Amino acid sequence: MTLPRLCGPPAASGVLRQRPQDFFVDEILSFEPDGEGEHELVHVEKTGANTAWVAGALARFAGVRPRDVSYAGRKDRHAVTRQWFSVWLPGRSGIDWADCGIEGVEILGTVRHRRKLRRGALAGNRFRIVIREFRNGDDIEARCERLVRDGVPNYFGPQRFGHGRRNLELAVRLFEGARLRRNERSIALSAARSEIFNAVLAARIDAGTFLVPLPGEPLSPGGGSFFSCEQPDEEIIRRVGIGELHPTGPMWGDGGNPATGEAAAFEAAVAAQFELFCSGLAGARLRFERRPLRVIPQELAWQVAENGLELRFLLPRGAFATCLVAELVEVPASE
């Protein structure tokens, strides 16, 4: 599925993830560890390893149940990523994690904490990405400057939908009555919601209203909150323009769309093509939520060197680095 870019199709091309070291991610926790407690926070650097697989390996080494190991977010396998895991060790201490011997994993440090590490407990992620075989990049500076000013379309990246978009096939099976395992059900629901959101965001870009708040549209000041705006005035439009407020799109579910008026009508027209997903998500009793249509990258820096285009930036949790890359460089579809 080709999604419209804010800056239009890029002239530049290159290769993403030619090697794991070309895609580096560093998690930033949203809290300071307590320094004491029953949970050991383990900071790791993993290369070419799946997050869930690493969690299982840590559980086996510590001799605990898989459910006693948790993490704040899944990270790409084909990358070098630094992330945190928590291991519940009530009444235990003195584990020498340096001897865990997990392939592709280096233990960077540990610290105690009173609570289990929960999904989404991140302030954001810091990225360093290298695009190899980089060509035709004369407009990279102008594109980067626009993304810093106007933000990046906050699409869900292709990772959300699985290889060949098979997670959406799972969603169809689920909503047609198939019984799925718990983890498959979660993947299917997430993919269905993401597909509807992406379609609404794409339609807003095509309509030229990516940064134009619609009457009745909930607006977000960031941090996951939003407020209803029945009729945007000059002050609201100004605050959207400078990045203080963000238009939002639907995370479909039960209980009714928080959007009203023109915004609700626009979203309903787009969502009509996903009738099975909309009814299925409502039936699954997922809460209807909102997600900002854009994300503004922080500390965005770029450099063209012998090894290609190097990008460095910081994104809040839930944002996909591949969506920023897509605004700058055309990469092979398989990536």
pLDDT along the chain (335 residues), means of 10: 90 92 95 94 95 95 96 91 96 87 94 94 95 94 96 95 94 96 94 98 97 96 88 95 96 94 97 97 94 96 91 95 95 66
Cα 198 to its chain centre, rounded Å, is: 12
Q: What pLDDT score was predicted for residue 333? A: 64
Are 288 and 258 in contact, with CB atoms under 8 Å apart? yes
Q: Is 76 a catalytic residue?
A: yes
Q: What pLDDT score was predicted for residue 332? A: 82
Q: What pLDDT score was predicted for residue 220? A: 96
Q: What pLDDT score was predicted for residue 224? A: 79
- CATH class held by domain 31-119: alpha beta
What letter would DSSP give residue 215?
A: T
Q: What pLDDT score was predicted for residue 335? A: 42
φ, ψ at 277 (rounded to 5°) = -65, -45
Query: Which stretches within the chain are classed as H helix?
Result: 51-62, 140-150, 166-175, 182-207, 234-241, 261-271, 275-283, 321-328
Domain boundaries, the chain: 31-119, 155-292
pTM: 0.92
Are 118 and 87 in contact, with CB atoms under 8 Å apart? no
Q: What pLDDT score was predicted for residue 1? A: 66
For the chain, the maximum distance between any two Cα atoms, rounded to a whole number of angstroms, is 61
Among 76, 138, 139, 254, the active-site one is: 76
- CATH class held by domain 155-292: alpha beta
Are 290 and 218 in contact, with CB atoms under 8 Å apart? yes
CA–CA gap between residue 173 and residue 1 (Å, rounded): 20
Helices 261-271 and 182-207: crossing angle in degrees, nearest 10, is 120
